[in-house]
Amino acid sequence: MKVIVGKDLLSANAGQAGENRVLFNNNRVTVINLISAPGSGKTALLEKTAELLRGKLKLGVVVGDLYTTRDAERIERAGVTVVQINTEGVCHLTADMVARALQEVSLDQLNLLFIENVGNLVCPVSFDLGEHAKVALLSVTEGSDKPAKYPGIFREAVATVISKVDLLPYTDFDLPACLEEIQKINSDQQVFITSARTGQDLSHWCAWLEQLAAGKAKGNNLASR
């Protein structure tokens, strides 16, 4: 009997991730793996980002979801090329799933590709998809203790987007404590304090994306380009 242990799965994934990265680099497209808990506002952020970057960067999105195509339909309405991956219950995207989705994308037409990972703060962190940068997103309705409880994603991310700050007055989210915790885990990252509802800080977020796409902001794997 052949037993496949987690380590084998991860090394097979790393091989495909490397191939994805070569493809991204050859097409000069910068790729972000967006990771957060379900419902924290990934799709809402991408809808707004697509509006704000229209005419500035050519954007594409690969959306991972367990079953539905609802997010892809929302992002498509914002006028962006979208490919949906249904993982059929798997709690994270793999490099192989992304490679198949890429067959549907004209990478040479894009400057920036977002991969909206499956809503989960743990599993997606272990699976390199070939991206140049991981971005974490945390909404104020989730509680300010989440960076301390799930440090993996905040350690890996080059930027953290704190979302739904329009809801701050209705929560017990301790923003200074949360920022301090993120700083303790990874002092070398950008933090954006945003609302997709009011547009707060989205201009800074989009300016940073433009810099990242131009190779002027730091990514996890941009040096390899």
Ligand X SMILES: Nc1nc2c(ncn2[C@@H]2O[C@H](COP(=O)(O)OP(=O)(O)O)[C@@H](O)[C@H]2O)c(=O)[nH]1
Is 166 a binding residue for ligand X by CB under 6 A? The answer is yes
Is 47 a binding residue for Mg ion by CB under 5 A? The answer is no
Give the range of 19-27, 42-50, 121-129, 208-216 binding ligand X by CB under 6 A. 42-50
Percent of the chain that is helix, strand, coil (3-state, to 5): 45, 20, 35
Q: Name the minimum Å distance from CB 12 to Mg ion.
A: 27
Q: Does residue 92 contact residue 36 with C-beta atoms inside 8 Å?
A: no
Is 44 a binding residue for ligand X by CB under 6 A? The answer is yes
CA 26 to chain centre: 21
Is 49 a binding residue for Mg ion by CB under 5 A? The answer is no
Per-position x/- string for 45-84, each x denoting binding to ligand X as judged by CB under 6 A, each - no binding: --------------------------x-------------
166 binds, among ligand X, Mg ion, none (CB under 5 to 8 A by kind): ligand X
Cβ closer to ligand X: 44 or 185?
Answer: 44
Give the range of 89-97, 160-168, 184-192, 201-209 binding ligand X by CB under 6 A. 160-168
- Which of 42, 48, 132, 146 touches Mg ion (CB under 5 A)? 42
Cβ closer to Mg ion: 112 or 217?
Answer: 112
Sign, CA torsion 155/159/165/166 = negative
Calpha distance 120→205 (Å, rounded): 22
Per-position x/- string for 111-140, each x denoting binding to Mg ion as judged by CB under 5 A, each - no binding: ------------------------------
Helix axes 42-53, 70-77, angle to 10 degrees: 20
Q: Which amino acid is at 62?
A: V
Is 92 a binding residue for ligand X by CB under 6 A? The answer is no
Is 155 a binding residue for ligand X by CB under 6 A? The answer is no
Tokens of 194: 């945003």
Calpha distance 69→73 (Å, rounded): 6
Q: Does residue 21 contact residue 221 with C-beta atoms inside 8 Å?
A: yes
- Which of 19, 26, 38, 203 touches ligand X (CB under 6 A)? 38
Calpha distance 186→64 (Å, rounded): 26
Question: CA geometry: angle at 124 spanning 122 and 125, to 5°?
Answer: 70
Beta strand ranges found along 71-111 (DSSP E): 81-86
Residues found near ligand X in the complex (CB under 6 A): 36, 38-44, 71, 119, 163-164, 166-167, 195-197
